[in-house]
A and B are shown apart, each in its own frame.
Chain A
Amino acid sequence: MSGITGKAFGSGAATAPGRARTPGRKRTGSLAWHVGALLVLAVVLYPVLWVLGASFKPSREIIGSLDLFPTSPILANFKGLADGIADISIATFFQNSLFYALGSVVGILISCSLTAYAFAKIRFAGRNLLFSLMIGTLLLPYHVLLIPQYVMFQKLELVNTYVPLLIGKYLATEAFFVFLMVQFMRNLPRELDEAARLDGCGHLRIYWSIVLPLCRPALITSAIFTFINAWNDFMGPLIYLNEPGKYTVSLGMMMFRDQEGVANYGGMIAMSLVALLPVLLFFLAFQRYLIDGMATSGLKG
């Protein structure tokens, strides 16, 4: 299974189930295929194109007009963002989100890869039990932990800091990424680390010099997903951050709506677009890793 590297998609016969037998049928079939696919595409992309178009429209035209793109585009919505929200510069929110997202990525890469290495490469007592527990947390609704974690961080006076948001990432609580990396590591050729063991390498050395470099695709997938999840995260910051100067982009946008609301609808939509950009750019650059990583998660489940 080479899902993550994308090799799975390079092989196999050209036609799939239900192929047509005559050239004529083939052409109609293929036309119908494209029409169907394009229809879905139109619906899927509409909201994205809409926000792109609306961000260049004057506020009062945004809701009522059915034109996807304005006849005379304006930049006022974006220029208005330079004023910031309630005396806080937009850049502050972006810095905060960036800090949160990058901090999460570092944590996930270290903690989840260590845990995954133990599950995949070390034969220790209790491994299977711990693995089942880990999979169990994958299904556990986060909301059961919400209240007690909040109480704990409140007692520790860590509310309104990024510690509650980040600490879980450094303690491998995101089971999905551990799972993804375990799957990947178990598919690495066993001979490599066995040879290294015979040469007297310890686990730390094997982890660092052999397994990690070979796991690059899984690490990249995890890093991008982590970044995007943290960037989009809404509930965590909503609960833990209560000082506008510390707000992430998501919270900044909610504040924007509270303060300017309908009066500056264009500004709100422009901000929405700007907030989406990092995610969309990441997606364009790394879609292969994301989609193949996603596909792999289901196959062995």
Chain B
Amino acid sequence: MGTAVTLVKDSPPDAPRTRPAAPAAERRRGRRENLAGYLFMSPWIAGFLLLTAGPMAASLYFAFTDYNLFDSPRWIGFDNFTTMFDDPRWQKSVEVTAKYVVIGTPLKLLLALGVALLLAQSRRGQAFYRAAFYAPSLIGASVSVGFVWRALFSDDAVVDRTQSFLGFHAGGWVGDPDWVLYSLVALTVWQFGAPMVIFLAGLKQVPRELYEAAEVDGAGPLRRFWSITLPMISPVLFFNVLLETIHSFQIFGSAYVVSNTTCGPADATLVYTCYLYQKGFKESQMGFASAMAWMLLLAVALVTAVLFWSQKRWVHYEEDAR
């Protein structure tokens, strides 16, 4: 996320750096600024140490121990990890999560981009549609919507009836291990409004002259999309891909609620964090759950790294973006 870089870039112009030869008054001022900075930052620093850095270190330690919360942790080396890799339910949770991420995220982003392009065509009614499409992103994570989803996708309910009518599947999705995950995919796709809003904002920043010039040169709509729109919104696309992917790795609530707290049937919605929750909080295997959490962190870090590495090839940043 280029932000840190931008911050460095904009600091200098209005203040010449304090040189070693600077007068004492200036040095004093610098010290005062440092003090003020750290005082203002102190809640964040305390939070970072107590709630982020400290727990991360503890979690890394727990990952190599057998720990049930009541007896003190017992060092067992890599046992949690070897047990994990051999555990069929863990493998299942990886499979379920991978399927969810790989199917749900692209669908959601494609729909978000498609609808954003549609809305960008006209300004009349745009604000209304934008708001209406955004609403599901605010309520999608709630237990209420989880209940509604389970109802809509049960036997004999609207989805089942529609499908039977079209003749390609019978029965509710939530009771069918082969289909239930797709009800969760549908739930995340339903929340396409958040990335859509970001796409729309990106589309508004594309200079109109580019389209006019291209039109004069005889470029058709497809060509204009491919050669102008896509490169110009690629930073926004990158942002959406990154955040949506990371978030969908961490799905918990909707799987837990839609599956009626079982993460089933037949572990078909056993998403990674659901298994982590079961291990940590139902079976008190804090060590194993920590090891699982670190594998999740590694997976997310790997995906993030690959995305950042790939952005050189496809993300186009304007030189004078600011």
Please list the residues of chain A having a beta carbon within 8 angstroms of any beta carbon in chain B: 3, 8-9, 12-19, 29-30, 33-34, 36-37, 40-41, 43-45, 47-48, 50-51, 54, 62-64, 66, 110-111, 114-115, 117-119, 122-125, 127-128, 130-135, 137-152, 154, 167-168, 170-173, 178-179, 186, 190, 202-203, 207, 228, 231-232, 234-235, 239, 249-250, 253-254, 257, 268-269, 271-273, 275-276, 279-280, 283, 287, 290-291, 294-301
Contact = CB atoms under 8 A, between A and B. Distances in A.
Contacts of B194: 294
B37 A118 contact: yes
B50 A139 contact: no
29 contacts: A33-B121, A33-B122, A37-B129, A41-B133, A44-B136, A47-B148, A50-B148, A114-B43, A118-B38, A128-B8, A137-B52, A140-B297, A147-B62, A151-B69, A172-B44, A172-B47, A173-B52, A190-B14, A203-B36, A231-B142, A235-B277, A250-B142, A272-B145, A276-B139, A280-B139, A287-B131, A295-B201, A298-B240, A301-B236
A133 B4 CA distance: 10
Contact of B139 (A12, A186, A279): A279
Given A34-B125, A64-B157, A167-B51, 10 more contacts: A17-B211, A37-B129, A47-B145, A63-B155, A114-B40, A135-B1, A145-B59, A149-B51, A172-B44, A254-B257
A171 B144 contact: no
B87 interface: no
B259 to A, nearest CB: 12
Nearest to B281: A239
B294 A144 contact: yes
Nearest to B40: A118
A48 B52 contact: no
B43 A50 contact: no
Interface residues of B, number: 116
A50 B152 contact: yes
Contacts of B84: none
A257 B138 contact: no
B197 A272 contact: no
A207 B36 CA distance: 11
- Which applies to chain B's interface (DSSP): helix, strand, loop or mixed? helix
Nearest to A155: B69
Contacts of B1: 135, 138, 301
Contact of B120 (A17, A45, A146, A280): A17
